[in-house]
Structure 1
Amino acid sequence: MNRLQAVHALGQSIWLDFISRELLSSGSLRRLIEDDAVTGLTSNPAIFEKAIGSSSDYDAALQALVEGGVSDPAELFERVAIDDIRAAADEFRKTYDGTRAVDGYVSLEVSPRLAHDSAGTIEQARRLWKAVGRDNLMIKVPGTPAGVDALRTLIGEGINVNVTLLFSREAYRAVAEAYVDGIEIWTQRSGDAGNIASVASFFVSRIDAAVDAEIARRVAAGDSDAARLQVLAGKVAIANARLAYQDYKAIFGSPRWLKLAQQYRARPQRLLWASTGTKNPQYRDTLYVEELIGANTVDTVPPATLDAFRDHGEARSTLELDIDAARAVFAEVEALQLPFSAIVDKLVDDGVQLFVDADDKLLAAVAGKRDLVAKA
């Protein structure tokens, strides 16, 4: 049993935060499934931009589409992305069936331009769900207020959802409650909810990057609490995630939820740890995987972090270690007047903009490829 398999044995699912045609065609994804117990995959505009823009793997497919009369970059991207997502979902179908729909999911994101448009998100999610046509698909929607409204509707229609860009416990709780609402809507319409699944993607390393920057700014300015501030560096994100897991246990241990689980086979919306690649080179490169290992959770990791953990990661249950210490971290955040709420609000806005920027680059790359193949 390697280190990644050991994490799986502890009850946490490892998903790959990456997709490319080469990953699929070379058999690399199948090997990750078989050798490393990888049980799912997530994608986003930035990942697809790198995959399409930096290789020739998509040129033949794009040429065939162009020759067939497709010229709009957004449609070209969607067509090739759907092919990749279907292929990945098919690779994970055995996992999906073997776990009885607990695992084996592949995520495809709605346009980041719809982050504040609930109706537009719902419309596109429905269309993508139908176009991909795989039970083990999850449609990714942002954890904005508009995304929360979309989640409620989509779950109520039986569409699996991955809610992304969650940074605060308040935002997470709103998402979890909307999921429960959606399950209730579904059960009133159709009864059994055993095949509906969702994850709440709670971001980690970006929080430390932002909080640490604020700490460094105040220390450099000669803050009288410099020593206390420095103690918090690198600790806030993990404490935040561990406390969110306590919220998860409360929501999905409530009488309201237990009734849905017992009567309709409803599955809890699992917490998924995202942004798990370490951004600060002074921190251990496997930090955000090692410190958040716990049952009934998911960790989506980029390839470099996956390789690092396989090589030297430590697999042990850590998610519920010293919850009192996590609470003490946030008591200190409040005492020192670190603007945590403002920081996470900005992280959501920045996250949406980063995906919009990546989408711009993606469409530009597809347009460039279209023009090249059209001349060939």
Structure 2
Amino acid sequence: MKPSAPAVWAPAGPGAPGAPGAPVPGSALRGRRTAGLAVLLVLLAACAAGSLLIGARAIAPAEVWRVLTAPDGGEASAVVWSLRLPRTAIGIAVGAALGTAGVLMQSHTRNPIADPGILGVSHGAALGVVLGVFLLGMSDLASFVWLAIAGAVIASTAVFAIASGGSRGPTPITLVLAGAAMSALLSGVISAIVLLDHSSLEVYRFWRLGTLAGRPMEVFWQVLPFIAAGLALAAANAPGLNALALGDDVATALGQRVRLTRAAGVLAIALLTGAATAAAGPIGFVGLAAPHLARAITGPDHRWTVPLAAPAGACLVLAADIAGRVVRGNGEVEVGIVLAVLGAPFFIALIRRGRMIAP
């Protein structure tokens, strides 16, 4: 008689496949994960198509396809190649980065409502931009990218160093406390600078809204290496996160190098969040919601949660950007505002339904 497949525990929550505590066959869970990934990729393709087709200027789908395959220098070609294609590419990159960073952040802090900005990464990126305007007089958006990434990496490195002060090295609690302290410090410094310098205030006020509009394709190519490196680190970090979920002592007994795993995770968060913030400004909710959407499909296995959170985050960013273009008719609402307005009620409903799944 052929032995049955091993049982894998389903994610908690009412209405989840296999009620809480009920075993789910391993083959069924693998099929659900594969199907979920396929659905997310199809949704991402649909969102990308919508981002190229929808805008203030109505362009027929056939015309969009024609200028994509054979640009002719006309008005439609300029709109698609100079405006819509860059914001679509940046939206995918930013969403994938924030979604993946959210998984790492929630897992390393063991906090299901943690956001990638909790380590002070977003504030570090913002301070880099403000200092560039205040001290160097910079105004070019492409130059902000390097300043923002440098600020994000420096801030996250400082947080990790502070959290590593104890004999046990960085722990979920010390990371959160050090990140909160760093965020408060950097926020105060930013506020002081923008109050003293009007040009810094004007640049920061626009940049901090979070938007994909007006970003040239050059920005995408600048942040792409950092996002690619962060995604590669996140994929390498995923097996270690499964061990850390059992507790530091158990992970150490299993041969996991806890300090190295945490260092790699923090570096990945810094690269992903810093690059995303540099490209589009601070965008909230994506790093909070995308990991829960991924876990609802995959369960707590980070080897699957990490790759599914990337397309989930990209879909959220592109969908919000499309909604922002059509909600005001001739104008548009920044993607950061749309995500804040629509994301908060969605997440509250998710909490009330009890569908949150602990990392």
TM-score between the two structures when normalised by the length of structure 2: 0.27
TM value normalised by structure 1: 0.26
More strand by share: 1
Higher relative contact order by CA 8 Å / sep ≥ 6: 1 or 2?
Answer: 2
